[in-house]
Chain A
Amino acid sequence: MEKQAGAAGAADCAGPNRKPWGSVTCGPVVAGDSLDSPTGSHVEWCKQLIAATISSQISGSVPPDIMNRDNKNLPGLRYGAQVRAFPNQVPLLPGETVQTTVKDVMYICPFSGLVSGTLTITDYKLYFSSVDRETPFILDVNLGAISRLETISVPTQGENTKGLELVCKDMRSPRFAYKTEESHPDVVDALAKHTFPLSHNLPLFAFLYKEQFPVDGWKVYDPVAEYRRQGLPNESWAISKMNSTYELCDTYPSILVIPTNIADEDIKRVALFRAKHRIPVLSWIHPESQATIVRCSQPLVGPSDRRCKEDERFLQIIMDANAQSHKLTIFDARQGSVAVTNKAKDGGYESESFYPNVEMNFLDIPNIHVMRESLRKMKDVVYPTIDEAHWHSAIDQTHWLEYIRLLLAGAAKVADKLESGKTSVVVHCSDGWDRTAQLTSLAMLMLDSYYRTLRGFQVLVEKEWISFGHKFAARVGHGDENHANSERSPLFIQFIDCVWQMTRQFPAAFEFNELFLITVLDHLYSCLFGTFLYNSEEERAAEEVQTKSVSLWSYINSQPEDFTNPFYVDYEHHVLYPLVSSRHLELWTSYYARWNPRMRPQVPVHQTLKELLFLRAELQRRVEELQKETSSHSLSSSSHSPSPTHTTGTPLHSAV
């Protein structure tokens, strides 16, 4: 029992049925690494299981080219054909080119030992395939996931052998051993060049990627449409183009929602009083009470307790815009003591004596450095091997779940203040782009069922994270070799983890599934799509990201069925508070520990449900057919039919 392999055969059985274009577009996660598990990444494994279920109506022996023809309008079809024609060739994405190929490389698998094979480096991925044709083993790591390259010693492998470890952002560290020869270019150099293109004056792969998707993901988020959905503008709130040239605030989006009765001059003064000019703006408005979630950065109070009349009035107007309450609650994500020390650095927090009717709340969430350290510890716990006897206490010691708890608790407080207290809230941390984004987006997810749909969630991420200047480039370090940069921190991963925790507590409340969340995280690093590149809307506009790269949502929305939760039931206006207790928070092993084949579950529940949904559709179709038959029959014979009155094929009974 010690060595249980993962669902290694899942690919074998699903293989003939799998959608070739589906797997190639998900290139960064294709990893058919058959020794760890033939399916490699959990994502692909999951997808194949789902795909196998969906395509169970197709008999297993359909040759791939026929399937390709069936799917002609869909992208990525070359994959299947290519692999069939040249089995040794590396599958490439449109726009991807092979940079170097190294033979006689050993992959040092932490689970199964050594595998010898060929290593190919493209401008997008590292692709290792075993020489043994009968037991194909493929390891596929997209370069974007690599945090640093490290040479390791391989003392027993002969003199001219070098060792290489790829320390990845996605919780794995594959290691290789290779022979150095005079004629060979050094693997590390080639790898470093394309892993860290920005440090070598090369473009990110997203700008080379040439895939065409039937759906344009850049159209998912239209701020005006989203604010209109919320019922804005109204008499108190206006959609402002004051920041259309990013002059007011270079890290904010061009379109902002601000109170109606405030002069532009006053706003400019408020901007000077807020860190990085991030003024209080509306994120979400409650459809009934008109209470709002407002986000901003810390006020520049400084050691001398500076005041800003315009800022004070600004918050007063925000409070007045909500007739239901005569209070305004400010949630400062930081620890109270940290907020105080920030005064010395010219920051600070709103003093209750200067802001009448304001209630200050500190949420005690540690900063980005603490979170980075916590996830680093987590990697030691889950990769490559785990300590079975102390698994639970080891997780406790990373404090990762404790921080998840703090975040969810903070967001639940925000949501509850709006929903039950009918009070508007202002959320900020120091700069208002890390913890603030986490809190506002989680609170919105709890309050507004729209954000729990596949589309709505994309809007939420585009809005609260991307457009409001969460510094993705700095936090992730896309294409940058400076791995020790203290700006890096897994804040977005933490947010997705919180979402996952909510989906675990409310398995029927979210339209998207776990695969979707994992896919989003994989492409946070991959640099395949333009979605998460750069730090702000201004930078993205300057780099013409929308015209020169593909959106992640194009990929997702071209095959939404794969990312849909079959349990989903759309209950409108259903406010959900997750239970913020350690008892219900779990480590997301299918993400963090997915590289360990022994950690995977064997049966996804979705499989059964997809089958049942299919069964229902099938039965419904047959009942309809028979109903038609019966009614035509009874018409001709004019006898009374036992058929119920329904002809629409809807269920023929009422609930009990």
Chain B
Amino acid sequence: LFSLSTPFIIIFLFSFFFFELGEIVVNEVNFVRKCISAESSQEDLWGKLICTNFKVSFILQDAPPKQKSHLSHLLLGEHDIPLTCLEQVVTVNDTRGKKKVLGSNQKLKFNPTELILYCKDLRILRFCFDEAGPESAKKVCLAIAHYSHPADLHLLFGFEYQGRRYHESKVNGSTPRGGLRTPIFDRPSDWDREIKRTSASGWRVCSAIYDGRCSLPEYIVVPVSLADQDLKRYSIFFTDQRLPLWCWNHPNGSALVRMASISDPVQQRKIEQRVFTAITKSHPQRSDVFKSDLDKCLPNIQDIQSSFVKVRHICVIDPFEESEERWLSSIETSRWLEHVRAFLKHSAEIVYCLDGKNASVILQEEEDRDLNCVVSSLVQLMLDPQYRSLTGFQSLVQKEWVMAGHRFLDRCNHLKKNDKEESPLFMLFLDCVWQMMNQYPAAFEFTETYLTVLSDSMWIPLFSTFLFNSPKQRAQHLIDFAKNKAIPAGEDQAVYFPPVWDWSQQFSTKDQTLFNNPMYVGKGAACVQNGEVKTFTRTKRNYSSSVRATPSSLRNGLKGGEETLTRRGSLLSELKPDFSPVKVESPSERFFRDLFSQPADQRGLLIPLLMPSHVALWKLYFLRWVPEACIPKGGPITAFHKLSQLVDEIEILQSQLRQYKGPSPGSTPLPSPGGPPVNQRRMYFKASPQNDPPTPPDFLTSSFPFTPMGNLCRRSIHGTPISKFLNGARIWLSTETLANDTV
């Protein structure tokens, strides 16, 4: 076992530094310099570097200057990094020309003069020990390396923290589900509601398969024509018993279904036949079933991982000036955007089957736990505006990722045990969502800040959402956890170990308003129609019509647009081969052409445009920490600022209108004069009094609400570009360093 001379101190109260419940200081070192800029040390900060069982913390020596922090995390200070967020811990000794990537339980044969922390949220932090005690510096480095490689899942800080938090909050009495509005899909009622909402009458909730051995959730949705006995019989033929699971129903009756591959090749045909028949029976028009094998047509998890590593490298690790030269080519070489396009494109094709061909679709993947998660959730985002609301989106992640058994623990590599299993699939999904958001800015209730914060939350080990590989694993761990922490049996898991969706765990109410998109045109948003100010409410009819309810029969008949296309087809046939730059359109091409020929209904079916020029690098996510890439006073946030103020003003006016008209039946009591109370205002930027001249929001930057200050400090080591250094870190560890180290 790892031994440290410093005794563990349990902290109860620490005036200048916030400690979480159950947090323990492992080791600390004073007189540390945090590097801010690679060029000079003038702006560097002095303080104490602390390693706890939760995070690496840096406490400023002098009281920090009153800085306007835009998004202040309730659990983490400005200079804190959770241990789970560490990608690589690198120690350097400048004078002896040595460097070493530290793993768990390792020895360090030199006194580090510098510590570089590469983080999973793309930050790079650098600490210098030139004034610090060499021994304690070394100990802190080793402690950080050790504690960021937990031997077991239950050692992640969340288990300690949530246990204490539960008992603390018990004193005040907790509300059921912590007031959470997002369905967790851990109970049949959540599924029933979805079945009802999408009119999926051919499907039912089933709990017969759950036996605690496979990765399936307790409740799944299956065709009504299959009895529990059949399901049990069939399930053994599927990898990990993952038989076809219902995801979603189109208003036209087509269903989206996901399943694993059939392990027994002899039985494959027969089983598939039976399953297909059952799914066909669940379709009101008995339409065909279309199967899409994602393993065959999409990049695999290793491809995705390696291209993410590359794009991250280009964005944050490569020296800024060097990568300026052929920036677009480098991005292309990483293939990240190509993968993003591939997933969006494939999802769009599935949408065509469901919506255009009125056919049910089965997404098939070897294990049904990776690519299927991405595609099924993207398809639903494109087809169902409900999932573009904040709660809807969260329920989608819950349904298609968490409950569907995406292996968050392995893919995030929280325990740093198996690098081969690591893959940023959820990140890829978020990037795809961002692409849609970027093209349809009014379609989503939430903002890119929300998506970024959600991706960061993956690296904070306090929420049940991203810690486990399957619902089964979650259940087992949480039962043990409850036992250990003396939590009464029958208590709701979402209460004693909450998911990430309770955002008040991380952010103040005010900061959470950064998640609200002022442009959102969804449910409840006001809009202008024929000069009338109306509030858009989604009735059932509205919903189905917005999802392109044009019956396929009508579309295949001679409707206006179709006619012109056939006509054009006949024109095309006159073409001689060398004169025909285009081939005859396929039905799916026609479908998309038809779709894009209309102005997008951001409350309805949304397909992103997928020419390479339409798919962009998600700058807020990839470049937010890069000081050289930060536009002062600029970036899309400046437009957001104006919009936010405008919407705030509108909401105040609306509130006044209601006030003048008197409370309408069923509405809340009379609002206070001058608009809704401040804490109920949805917009982050409040309207400014009209008589004041606008003052430039100088604090806005393209990185807002994040700050690159001190979060990305590259360093070149003895003429070696840091890129080579980190790129070859592992290789180099086995050759160069070891040679150095054995001296």
Are A and B genuine complex partners? yes
Binding site for B on A (CB under 8 A): 1-10, 13, 35, 37, 49, 56-59, 108, 110-116, 132, 134-135, 154-157, 384-386, 388-393, 395-396, 401-402, 405, 505-509, 567, 569-572, 574, 576-579, 581-584, 586-587, 589, 593, 598-603, 605, 608-609, 611-616, 618-620, 622-623, 626-627, 629-630, 642-644, 650-656
Task: Tell me if B171 is interfacial: C-beta within 8 Å of chain A.
Answer: no
- Asked whether A619 and B654 contact (CB < 8 A) given A571-B695, A582-B328, A655-B688, the answer is yes
A-B pairs with beta carbons under 8 Å apart, 27 shown: A3-B582, A4-B592, A5-B593, A56-B531, A59-B530, A111-B581, A112-B568, A113-B568, A392-B332, A507-B638, A508-B639, A567-B638, A584-B629, A589-B613, A601-B609, A601-B614, A602-B596, A603-B602, A605-B519, A612-B646, A616-B646, A619-B654, A644-B656, A652-B673, A655-B688, A655-B689, A656-B678
Contact with A along B666-688 (1 / 0, CB 8 A): 00000001110010000000111
- Asked whether A13 and B598 contact (CB < 8 A) given A113-B571, A642-B659, the answer is yes
Chain B positions 619-639 with a Cβ under 8 Å from a chain A Cβ:
619, 623, 626, 628-636, 638-639
The 3 closest A-B pairs by CB, nearest first: A57-B531, A8-B597, A582-B327
Mark the stretch among B160-168, B369-377, B521-529 that contacts chain A: B521-529
A333 to chain B, nearest CB (A): 20
Q: Across the interface, which residues of B come within 8 angstroms of A589, CB to CB?
A: 613
Cα–Cα, bound, A608→B443 (Å) = 11
Contact with A along B436-476 (1 / 0, CB 8 A): 00011110000000000000000000000000000000000
* Contacting pair B531 A571 (CB below 8 A): no
- Asked whether A115 and B571 contact (CB < 8 A) given A598-B611, A602-B439, the answer is yes
Q: Please count how many residues in chain B sit with their CB below 8 Å of the partner chain's CB atoms.
A: 109
* Contacting pair B579 A157 (CB below 8 A): yes
- Asked whether A507 and B639 contact (CB < 8 A) given A9-B597, A396-B329, the answer is yes
* Contacting pair A651 B678 (CB below 8 A): no
Q: Across the interface, which residues of A come within 8 angstroms of B578, CB to CB?
A: 155-156
Known contacts A35-B568, A612-B518, A653-B687; 4 further A-B pairs (Cβ under 8 A): A135-B568, A507-B639, A602-B596, A611-B527
Which of B530, B612, B646 is A391 in contact with, Cβ under 8 Å?
B612
Q: Across the interface, which residues of A come within 8 angstroms of B636, CB to CB?
A: 507
B124 to chain A, nearest CB (A): 17
* Contacting pair A9 B579 (CB below 8 A): no
Which B-chain residue is minimally distant from A116 (CB atoms)?
Answer: B571
* Contacting pair A57 B530 (CB below 8 A): yes
Please count the residue pairs between chain A and chain B whose beta carbons lie under 8 angstroms apart in the complex. Answer: 291
Task: Tell me if B204 is interfacial: C-beta within 8 Å of chain A.
Answer: no
Binding site for A on B (CB under 8 A): 320, 323-329, 331-332, 337-338, 345, 348-349, 439-442, 518-519, 521, 526-531, 533, 561, 563-564, 567-568, 571-572, 574-576, 578-582, 585-586, 588-589, 592-594, 596-600, 602, 609-614, 616, 619, 623, 626, 628-636, 638-639, 641-643, 646-647, 649-650, 652-654, 656-657, 659-661, 673-675, 678, 686-696, 702
Which B-chain residue is minimally distant from A629 (CB atoms)?
Answer: B660
Cα–Cα, bound, A37→B599 (Å) = 13
* Contacting pair B631 A579 (CB below 8 A): yes
- Asked whether A112 and B691 contact (CB < 8 A) given A4-B593, A396-B327, A623-B660, the answer is no
A508 to chain B, nearest CB (A): 4
* Contacting pair B631 A393 (CB below 8 A): no
Which A-chain residue is minimally distant from B581 (CB atoms)?
Answer: A110
* Contacting pair A593 B440 (CB below 8 A): no
Cα–Cα, bound, A8→B661 (Å) = 44
- Asked whether A571 and B660 contact (CB < 8 A) given A3-B585, A619-B650, A656-B678, the answer is no
Cα–Cα, bound, A215→B634 (Å) = 34
Cα–Cα, bound, A6→B327 (Å) = 28
* Contacting pair A655 B660 (CB below 8 A): no
Which A-chain residue is minimally distant from B565 (CB atoms)?
Answer: A135
Which of B519, B529, B657 is A623 in contact with, Cβ under 8 Å?
B657
B439 to chain A, nearest CB (A): 7
Which A-chain residue is minimally distant from B675 (CB atoms)?
Answer: A653
Q: Across the interface, which residues of A come within 8 angstroms of B574, CB to CB?
A: 114
Cα–Cα, bound, A90→B639 (Å) = 41
Which A-chain residue is minimally distant from B528 (CB atoms)?
Answer: A611
Cα–Cα, bound, A388→B609 (Å) = 13
- Asked whether A616 and B442 contact (CB < 8 A) given A3-B589, A579-B631, A655-B687, the answer is no
* Contacting pair B653 A619 (CB below 8 A): yes
A155 to chain B, nearest CB (A): 8
- Asked whether A108 and B579 contact (CB < 8 A) given A605-B441, A609-B643, A619-B653, the answer is yes
* Contacting pair B639 A605 (CB below 8 A): yes
- Asked whether A608 and B442 contact (CB < 8 A) given A392-B612, A572-B693, A651-B690, the answer is yes
- Asked whether A1 and B349 contact (CB < 8 A) given A56-B529, A599-B611, the answer is yes
B649 to chain A, nearest CB (A): 5
- B527, B574, B611, B632: residue with the most chain A Cβ atoms closer than 10 Å: B611
* Contacting pair A393 B328 (CB below 8 A): yes
Q: Across the interface, which residues of B come within 8 angstroms of A579, CB to CB?
A: 629-632, 634, 702
Q: Across the interface, which residues of B come within 8 angstroms of A602, CB to CB?
A: 439-440, 596, 599-600, 609
Which A-chain residue is minimally distant from B345 (CB atoms)?
Answer: A1
Q: Across the interface, which residues of A come within 8 angstroms of B441, CB to CB?
A: 603, 605, 608
A60 to chain B, nearest CB (A): 8
* Contacting pair B582 A113 (CB below 8 A): yes
* Contacting pair A1 B592 (CB below 8 A): yes
Q: Across the interface, which residues of B come within 8 angstroms of A569, CB to CB?
A: 642, 694
Q: Across the interface, which residues of A come within 8 angstroms of B639, CB to CB?
A: 507-508, 567, 605
Cα–Cα, bound, A389→B635 (Å) = 28
A132 to chain B, nearest CB (A): 7
Which B-chain residue is minimally distant from A565 (CB atoms)?
Answer: B639
Cα–Cα, bound, A115→B568 (Å) = 9
Q: Across the interface, which residues of B come within 8 angstroms of A603, CB to CB?
A: 439-442, 599-600, 602
Cα–Cα, bound, A620→B610 (Å) = 40
Which A-chain residue is minimally distant from B585 (CB atoms)?
Answer: A3
B350 to chain A, nearest CB (A): 11
* Contacting pair A587 B613 (CB below 8 A): yes
Cα–Cα, bound, A392→B656 (Å) = 51
Cα–Cα, bound, A517→B694 (Å) = 26
Cα–Cα, bound, A572→B696 (Å) = 8
Which A-chain residue is minimally distant from B533 (CB atoms)?
Answer: A618
* Contacting pair B345 A576 (CB below 8 A): no
- A402, A581, A653: residue with the most chain B Cβ atoms closer than 10 Å: A653
Cα–Cα, bound, A506→B696 (Å) = 12
A481 to chain B, nearest CB (A): 28
* Contacting pair B656 A652 (CB below 8 A): yes
Q: Across the interface, which residues of A come within 8 angstroms of B329, CB to CB?
A: 392-393, 396
* Contacting pair A113 B575 (CB below 8 A): yes
Which of A156, A507, A571, A656 is B694 in contact with, Cβ under 8 Å?
A571
Which of B348, B442, B652 is A651 in contact with, Cβ under 8 Å?
B652
Q: Across the interface, which residues of B come within 8 angstroms of A57, CB to CB?
A: 528, 530-531
* Contacting pair A506 B633 (CB below 8 A): yes
Which of B326, B611, B686 is A4 in contact with, Cβ under 8 Å?
B611
Which A-chain residue is minimally distant from B594 (CB atoms)?
Answer: A5
Cα–Cα, bound, A225→B664 (Å) = 57
Q: Across the interface, which residues of B come within 8 angstroms of A619, CB to CB?
A: 533, 650, 653-654, 657
B41 to chain A, nearest CB (A): 23
* Contacting pair B327 A5 (CB below 8 A): no
Cα–Cα, bound, A574→B691 (Å) = 19
Cα–Cα, bound, A602→B601 (Å) = 10
Cα–Cα, bound, A320→B635 (Å) = 39
Cα–Cα, bound, A629→B660 (Å) = 9
Cα–Cα, bound, A257→B605 (Å) = 60
* Contacting pair B633 A7 (CB below 8 A): no
Cα–Cα, bound, A378→B87 (Å) = 41
Q: Across the interface, which residues of A come within 8 angstroms of B631, CB to CB?
A: 505-506, 578-579, 584
A46 to chain B, nearest CB (A): 12
Q: Across the interface, which residues of A come within 8 angstroms of B440, CB to CB?
A: 602-603
- Asked whether A56 and B530 contact (CB < 8 A) given A8-B597, A505-B634, A571-B695, the answer is yes
* Contacting pair B661 A642 (CB below 8 A): no
